[in-house]
Amino acid sequence: MSQHSADPAPHSTVATVTGRRDWWRDAVIYQVYPRSFADGDGDGMGDLAGIRSRLPYLRDLGVDAVWLSPFYASPQADAGYDVADYRAVDPMFGTLLDADALIRDAHTLGLRIIVDLVPNHSSDQYDWFRRALAEGPGSPLRERYHFRAGRGENGELPPNDWESVFGGPAWTRVEDGEWYLHLFAPEQPDFNWEHPAVGDEFRSILRFWLDMGVDGFRIDVAHGLVKAAGLPDLGSHDQLKLLGNDVTPFFDQDGVHAIYRQWRTILDEYSGERVFVAEAWTPTVERTAHYVRPDELHQAFNFQYLTTEWDAGELRTVVDRTLEAMRPVGAPATWVLSNHDVTRHATRFANPPGLGTQIRTAGDRGLGLRRARAATLLMLALPGSAYVYQGEELGLPDVVDLPDEVRQDPAYFRGAGQDGFRDGCRVPIPWTREGTSYGFGTGGSWLPQPDSWAELSVEAQTGVPGSTLELYRAALAVRRAQADLGAGDAVEWLRAPEGVLAFRRGEFVCVANTGSGSVTVPMRGRVLLASGEIAESDGEAKLPADTTLWWTEATG
């Protein structure tokens, strides 16, 4: 059911992105959320043409690769994470020719492109699911999903007690009386990965995009593909608490790893060091490490890091545990502070600790921004690969007061789920001080942008010393050119006052003050960068609260 007929010639190689071996081990990867990055056709919704026009901005920012959230044909029940055709671009985002042009342009600029792959579930409008529904109980097509009879006298109860991540039962009953499983929205039926056709289809989809020239895949719900045999009840636990904190019959089952070992062999047939990154919410970094064993995936998001509060002790623990967990499998650590599913870190850190990742209050904005900037410099000084979510380089906060009628997050409407307030981090990017939607496009924006965003725009911050955008640019330049910060896996902790993290990496030193008062630390060398105002004198540096400082002992 491809919505697009033009078939661009496949790229034979990723010819124009040359570069270092193992580029991904210390890469900075920028997440573009296509709906909200840039709108090329003025319909108020971001698109591939818009992204393409802004690639030079990303090159100048200094990132290595761009990960695009889904832009495939989709009814948009979950903002594109409900895919109706894995080999087509949704008309609202453009065409396959636009995707081809985007990949080529990115490569010419030295940027790699990672696309999202959604293998846990399809859209309920995916051809297989529609046919499975139409054919009725007993149809072999139903075996590609999890269809079951219900429990209770007349099958009126769901087949087991699993709940959807978005709230409510994980099962929906169809007209003929059977139920189907959906760990997310009802419009996202889960595939049955025990069925061979599912694996065949996804191996073919991988090849389709590899032939298009993409440099890798971010795997959505990588921990969810395999369900425990017999789909056993979970019991009377609070399921939301278990998510990400425990192995469940539907998440982090050991069976998923066989799938990734197969996928790895496919990827390795292609030239150009293409990579996989797992979105795997696991209970521990040690379990995350299973996904990045040498014959599986390359990277996995470090959600333990993302969910750590701005606290020196907790941060040091998670950094050490991460590096220790990754060492035996030889995979790089990854670091991430924000993405399209969580409250932006500028707003998380503006609020008291312990509120989780779906926050509805603005908190102390100034404090949040100071901490966000300090947290970024800390993250970018750690060995491994780092992820930057669009707009964090502008210091954008979450928009916490969106009117209900503009919200689109399906979890918001299902109520008691894990997510629900994700629209707040998905508001389109302000590019200019003036104009419709601050330069996002010429036709408004699908979520309203606050008036205060004119001063947060790219235009307002460009060339302004100390702006958050210039801080990111400088940090990425230092990371890349001077100090090789992402390399290796060694962090040498230095003695530091309470509330302060200090570590050395060769001649480079990073000091982060997470405490509430200023601290003075001995400093030998030259300041490279600081997230706030620091004072330097006689071999000492004074850091205010919530400030990170980088210096080098190298001369010259």
Which residues contribute to the site for ligand NOJ (CB under 6 A)?
A: 78, 81, 118, 184, 220-221, 279, 340-341
Q: Point out the catalytic residue in the list 39, 47, 163, 220.
A: 220
Closest approach of ligand NOJ to the CB of residue 35, in Å: 11
Backbone φ and ψ of 125, nearest 5°: -95, 0
d(CA 331, CA 291): 10
State which residue, 339 or 445, has the beta carbon closest to ligand NOJ.
339
Is 269 assigned a catalytic role? yes
Closest approach of ligand NOJ to the CB of residue 6, in Å: 28
d(CA 145, CA 313): 45
State which residue, 178 or 279, has the beta carbon closest to ligand NOJ.
279
State which residue, 252 or 341, has the beta carbon closest to ligand NOJ.
341
Convert 95-119 into a string of H (helix), E (strand) and C (coil): CHHHHHHHHHHHHHCCCEEEEEECC
State which residue, 221 or 378, has the beta carbon closest to ligand NOJ.
221
CA nearest 195: which of 234, 225, 175? Answer: 225
d(CA 202, CA 180): 21
State which residue, 226 or 381, has the beta carbon closest to ligand NOJ.
226
Closest approach of ligand NOJ to the CB of residue 78, in Å: 5
User: Which residue intervals of 393-481 are DSSP H helices?
Assistant: 410-414, 458-461, 468-477
State which residue, 47 or 220, has the beta carbon closest to ligand NOJ.
220
Beta-carbon count within 10 A of 496 CB: 17
SS3 435: coil
Closest approach of ligand NOJ to the CB of residue 221, in Å: 5
The residues near 136 (Cβ < 8 Å, ≥ 6 apart) are: 176
CA nearest 272: which of 98, 35, 19? Answer: 19
State which residue, 107 or 182, has the beta carbon closest to ligand NOJ.
182
The residues near 509 (Cβ < 8 Å, ≥ 6 apart) are: 494, 502, 503, 523, 525, 550, 551, 552, 553
Tell me the residue nearest to ligand NOJ as measured from the CB. 81
Q: Point out the catalytic residue in the list 153, 175, 238, 269.
A: 269
Classify burial at 197, counting beta carbons within 10 Å of its beta carbon; exposed 0-12, middle 13-18, buried 19 or more: middle
CA nearest 383: which of 481, 486, 513, 260? Answer: 486
> What is the C-alpha end-to-end distance of the chain, expressed in Å?
61
CA nearest 105: which of 166, 59, 174? Answer: 59
Closest approach of ligand NOJ to the CB of residue 341, in Å: 5
Closest approach of ligand NOJ to the CB of residue 279, in Å: 6
- Amino acid (one-letter) located at 288: T
Closest approach of ligand NOJ to the CB of residue 314, in Å: 24
Catalytic positions, please? Answer: 220, 269
